[in-house]
Structure 1
Amino acid sequence: MTPLDLRALLAHPANGRARVLVESAGAEAFAGVVVAARETLLPERGDGELAALTEPPPSAPWQQDALVRRVRDRGFRGLALSGAEALGAGSRGLAARLGLTLLAVDDPMALARAAWELVQGRDALTLGYVRRVAQSIEYSAAHLADLLRHLSASVGHGVALIDAEGVLLQAGGDLPEAVRAAIDFGLWQDAVSVAEGAAASVRVDSPSRAGLRLAVFGSGLSPAQLAALAVAAEVAMPAVAARILIDEVADVSDAAVASGLLREFLEARDARDPDVEQRMSERGWRMGGYHLAFRIAGRRRLETLELLRFVRRNLAALPVDSQAVTSGRGVTGWLSFAEPPAADRLDEHVAAVRALHDNVRRSFDVATGVGSLDSGASGLLRSIDGAVDGARIAAGRAATGWFVRVDALGIEQVLLSWAGSDTFVPAAEALLAPLVSQGPELLETLTAYLDHESGVSATATALGLHRNTVAMRIARAQEVLGVDLTDTDARLALHLACRALR
C-alpha cells in the first residue's frame, strides 16, 4: 500500500478543504487514514496513520489537550478535525511537542476519500481525474480560455497551454517558469517535478499549431497524482485541439473584418465616414480621447495572423486600452487614453511598445514605428500615418534595433520612405522650401553633394564647378536650412528629401 503523502493530500482537489494547523517534524507521510465519529471509536493502535474525526473538538481547553494526547498515545501521527480552528494555542503547542500533525478540514469524509485515492494509487486517482475532465468537456465553452478555466475548476489544479517559448494561456494559477522549462517537448506525455512545483503534460495534436502542450500543474503533487493527471491531460487534449481550431477560424474571420474596417478608415482620410466610425466604436475602438499608434511591419514575408496573436497577448498585459489589427504585411495598433498622459508617462508607454517590439523580434523579423500622440479620430489617423512612416524608416535602421519613434527623430521626420509616401513629399517640400526660394543652384549643388557622399571635389567635377564654389554653396545651404551636415541623421534626411523633389 502506498504511504499517504501529506503534500499530495493537501494538493488533492477534493480533500474537504484540508489545511495544516500544526505540522510536526517527520510527518511528511502517514501509513494511511482512519475515519471515526469521535476519538473513542478509533482503533487502539494507530500505527502511524492519520485519524479523521467527523465530530468537532470539545470546547474546554483541558478536554482538547486530553484529545490530542490520547490520539497520539494510540500511535496516530496526525489528527484531522472539523472545526479544528477552535483548538487553543496550548493544545496546538502540545501537539507540536508530541509530534502530532493537526489538520483542519471542512469535510472529513471527503478528506478520507481523497486519502483513499492516494493510498490505493494511480487507478483510483486516474478514474477520479478523468471523470472530472469528462464533466468539464461537456460544458459548451465560449472560447479556449473559457475551456481551460472549466478544466482547471474541474480537476482542481492549474491548467496551461504552453510552447517552447512560454505560457500562451493558463487558468487556476501561474505555471512557474522553472516547471515549464523542465518539460520535455519531445515526448508525447511527460511529468516533471522541481522545487518550484510539478506538472503533467501532453502534446496537443493540432494541425495548425505545432509545438503546443497542455499542462496540468500544482505544488506538492505526488508521482501517483502526476501519472493520473497525465492521463487526464491526454483525455482533455482532443477537446483543447478542437477548440483551438474553432477559435482559429473565428480569429481569421474577425481579423479580416477588422483589417477591412481599418482600411476603410484610412482610405477615407479627412472625409469622415460616420458609418465607418460607428462600426469602429461597436468593435470597442475608441474614437475620442488621445491615441498613440504603432506599426509592426515584416521585413520579409511572415504569418500576419500569428504576429497578431503574439502582439495581442503582449498588449493584454498593459494597463491601457489597446487595439491591434492586421494590415498589409504586418500589424497596426494603438494605445488610447481618456486624457493626454504626462510626458514621463508617455515615455513609459513608448518604452512598453519598445519592449513589445523586442519580444516580437525574438520570433519575427520586423521593424516598428511609433507615431505621435494625437487626439480624436483625425488624430488617430495622423498617429497611424506617423507610425507607418516610422516603420519604413526603422526597416533600414539596424543601429536603433529596427525601432523608430517619430517624435524622437527631429529633422529625421522627413525620413518617411521617399518612394511616393503621402506624408513624405509634403514634408520634403516643407523642409527644402527655404532652399528652393534662393534659386535652383543651391538645391542642385546640395543634391549632387549628398549624392557624392559629401565629397566637395567629386561634386565640383560632376557639376563642372570650382571646389570653392561648391564649398560656398554648401555652407550657404546649411545656413539657410539651419542644419549641420556633419550630423549623419540630418544628412540622410536631406538626401532623401532632395531625391524626392528631384
Structure 2
Amino acid sequence: MTGLDLTALLAEPANGALRHVAGPDEGDWPTALLALTEELLETAGAGRLAVVATPLPREPWRVDALLRRVHERGYSALAVPGAERLDAGARRLAARIGLAVLAVERPVELAETSWRLAVARDALVLDLVRRLTVAFRHPARDLADLLSHLAAAAGAGVALLDATGVVEEHGGELAPWLGGHADLVRWDRWTDIVASPEMSVATVRVDSPSRPGLRLAFFAPGIRDAQVDALAVAAEIAMPAVAARILIDEVNTVTDASVSSDLLHDFLVSGDAHHEDVDRRMTERGWRTTGYHLGFRVIGRTRVDTLALLRAVSGALGPLGIESHAAAHGQGVTAWLRWVRIPARRDLERHVHELRAVHETLRRSFNVASGVGSLQAERAGLAATIGEAGDAARIAAQRSATNWFVRVDGLGLEQLLLARTENDTFLPAAESLLAPLRGDDDVLLTTLTSYLDHESGIAATADALGVHRNTVTGRIQRIQETLGVDMHDPSVRLALHLACRAVLR
C-alpha cells in the first residue's frame, strides 16, 4: 500500500493537529502538496492532498469558490487552517463534489509528515527513533512509567503481552482487539507484524531470562504499511530498555520485599514494647500502628513463589480503597487493612467479604490457604490480629469445606490453641517442658490442664476434677516448684496452656 490516507494521517502524532471537517471521511491520496495560498497550488492536482497555509476566508461565497477551484484542479482533499468554521452550505458542497475538507493548525508539520509517509519512509523511521531517544533521556520510576514514556514519544500504544493476553498497556487499548486475534501473533518469531483494518500491531520478543514469554508491542488503529514498519523498528529499539527495566524492577522488588519481611519480623518479635528503631522504620515505610487493624494471612498449601504471591496480594488489595500493607513473611504473605476510626460493623463485614474474594482470585494462580484475624486497635492490636490471621490460615490449610479460607472470629478458643501448637518445632519442646509432670497417671499434668482451661480458677478446677480445693492448691504449688515457673505470670500460663494442649491433643 502506497501514498496517504486520512486514517493514517490522523493516527500520526505530528500531523499538525489535523481534524476532518467535511466531505468524504476517508481518502487515498498519492502525496500532499503545500502552498502558501490556494492560488499557488499546482494546476494539476492528480488526486493529491492540498495543504494551504493561509487560513480559510470568512465570507461564505469566497469559501464556496475556493472549494470548487481546488476540486476543479483535481485535488481530492484540502487541509487549511480555520476549516472548522465551514457553514452548513459549504459542508454540503464538499460532500456533493467529493472533496475532503480538513482543519489543520500547523500546515507545515502536516506537509512534512505527509512527505515521510508517502515518499521518504526511512525519514519516518528516523523521526520515530529520534522521539524514542528523547524519551530514554527521562528517567523512569518503574516499568509502567517507562512504557508510558514510550507511548507518548511514539504517539502509539505500547503493551507487554504474554500467553494470557495483555500484561500492561499504555497509550491505547489493545486488550479488546487481542482477545479475538491472539492467534494471529506469531510467538515463535523474533519480530512480528499483524495488520488488520481495526488494528496494526508490531511485536518483538523481550529478551528477559527472568520473565520468559513476554513480547513488547507497539500498536495503533488505522495506520499504513510504512507506519507499521516504523513501529516494528521502534519495538526492537525499545526492547532492551524494557528488558533492563524489568530486571531493575525485579531487583528492587526483591530488595523491598526483604526489607519489609525483616521489618515485619522485628515488629512481631518486639511484642508490646515500643522499640525506637523498629517504630522509626515502620514510620518511614508508612506502616502506622495507630488506629484499627485487620490481619490477613496467605500461605502456600504447597510450594509457592513468595515474591509472585506478594505481587498478587498487593495488586488485589489496592482496589479495595482502604489503606493496606503486605509483606512476605515465612512461607507466605502477611497483610493488613487499617482504619483511622473504628469501622461500622456493616463496613467491616463488607471488607472481610472482599478479602474472601481476594483469596478466591489468588486460588486461580496459587495453591494457597488464607486466614483473617479480628479487628484490633493500636500497636498491640496490630501484632495480635496478624497472629490471629496466621492461626486462621493454618487451620484453613486443612479445610477444603471452606475453600481453604477461615476467619478467626468464626473459630473457638480450642481451635486457635491447636493451631498454635500443631507444628514439629513446638511439640517436642512442649513434651520436654511437661515431662517432669508425667507419672502417677499424669495427675499433675491433668490438674494443670484443667486449671488453665478454667482460667486459673481453683474452685472451678476442683469441681471439674471432683477433688477438694485444697488438693488443687497443693498440686498447683507442686507444679510450680517442679517446673520452676511463676504461675502468676500471664505469659507463663499461656505457654503452659499451649504445651498442655499440644501434648494431650
Task: Tell me if structure 1 keeps the 8 A contact 2:43–2:73.
Answer: yes
**Could you say which residue in structure 2 is the equivalent of 1:239?**
241
Q: How does 1:204-215 map to 2 (within 5 A)?
A: 204-215=206-217
Displacement of 1:308: 1.8
Higher mean C-alpha displacement, 139-148 vs 178-187:
178-187
- Secondary structure of 2:419's counterpart equals coil
Letter in 2 for 1:147: L
**Could you say which residue in structure 1 is the equivalent of 2:134?**
135
Higher mean C-alpha displacement, 184-193 vs 296-305:
184-193
From 312, 317, 320, the equivalent of 2:322 is 320
In structure 2, distance between residues paired with 1:433 and 1:166: 59
Task: Tell me if structure 1 keeps the 8 A contact 2:391–2:420.
Answer: no
Alpha-carbon displacement from aligned partner over 1:312-334 (angstroms, at most 9, x marks no partner): 33334443322221111111112
Higher mean C-alpha displacement, 361-370 vs 204-213:
361-370
In structure 2, distance between residues paired with 1:167 and 1:431: 57
Does residue 115 (structure 1) correspond to residue 140 (structure 2)? The answer is no
Displacement of 1:274: 3.6
In structure 2, distance between residues paired with 1:389 and 1:349: 20
Q: How does 1:71-82 map to 2 (within 5 A)?
A: 71-82=70-81
- Secondary structure of 1:333's counterpart equals strand
Letter in 1 for 2:18: A
Q: 1:116 to 1:255 in 2, by over 3 A?
A: same
Q: How does 1:348-497 map to 2 (within 5 A)?
A: 348-407=350-409, 409=410, 411=412, 414=415, 418=419, 420=421, 433=454, 439=464
Displacement of 1:73: 2.8
**Could you say which residue in structure 2 is the equivalent of 1:154?**
153
Letter in 2 for 1:72: H
In structure 2, distance between residues paired with 1:333 and 1:431: 32
Q: 1:417 to 1:243 in 2, by over 3 A?
A: farther
Task: Tell me if structure 1 keeps the 8 A contact 2:206–2:215.
Answer: yes
Alpha-carbon displacement from aligned partner over 1:6-56 (angstroms, at most 9, x marks no partner): 21211112112222223526x242232221122112222323222211111
In structure 2, distance between residues paired with 1:146 and 1:86: 39
In structure 2, distance between residues paired with 1:85 and 1:225: 27
Alpha-carbon displacement from aligned partner over 1:387-430 (angstroms, at most 9, x marks no partner): 212211221222333222333x25488357535179xx9xx999
Letter in 2 for 1:320: I
Task: Tell me if structure 2 keeps the 8 A contact 1:11–1:218.
Answer: yes
Q: 1:352 to 1:20 in 2, by over 3 A?
A: farther
Higher mean C-alpha displacement, 371-380 vs 52-61:
371-380
In structure 2, distance between residues paired with 1:412 and 1:84: 78
Letter in 2 for 1:85: E
Q: TM-score, normalised by structure 2?
A: 0.78
- Secondary structure of 1:44's counterpart equals coil
- Identical amino acids, percent of aligned pairs: 49
Task: Tell me if structure 2 keeps the 8 A contact 1:179–1:197.
Answer: no
Displacement of 1:116: 2.0
Displacement of 1:135: 2.7
Displacement of 1:195: 6.6
Aligned length: 441
In structure 2, distance between residues paired with 1:412 and 1:92: 80
Displacement of 1:311: 2.6
**Could you say which residue in structure 2 is the equivalent of 1:489?**
none
Q: How does 1:253-332 map to 2 (within 5 A)?
A: 253-332=255-334
In structure 1, distance between residues paired with 2:98 and 2:463: 97
Q: TM-score, normalised by structure 1?
A: 0.79
In structure 2, distance between residues paired with 1:177 and 1:430: 66
Q: 1:132 to 1:268 in 2, by over 3 A?
A: same
**Which consecutive unaligned segments of at least 5 residues does structure 1 have?**
442-496
Task: Tell me if structure 2 keeps the 8 A contact 1:81–1:105.
Answer: yes
Task: Tell me if structure 2 keeps the 8 A contact 1:259–1:326.
Answer: yes
Alpha-carbon displacement from aligned partner over 1:122-160 (angstroms, at most 9, x marks no partner): 533322222222332233333322322221221112222
**Which consecutive unaligned segments of at least 5 residues does structure 2 have?**
424-429, 431-448, 467-499
Displacement of 1:78: 1.9
Task: Tell me if structure 2 keeps the 8 A contact 1:77–1:99.
Answer: yes
Higher mean C-alpha displacement, 207-216 vs 306-315:
306-315
Q: Rg bigger for which structure?
A: 2
Alpha-carbon displacement from aligned partner over 1:79-116 (angstroms, at most 9, x marks no partner): 21223222233322332333222222221121122222
In structure 2, distance between residues paired with 1:419 and 1:383: 14
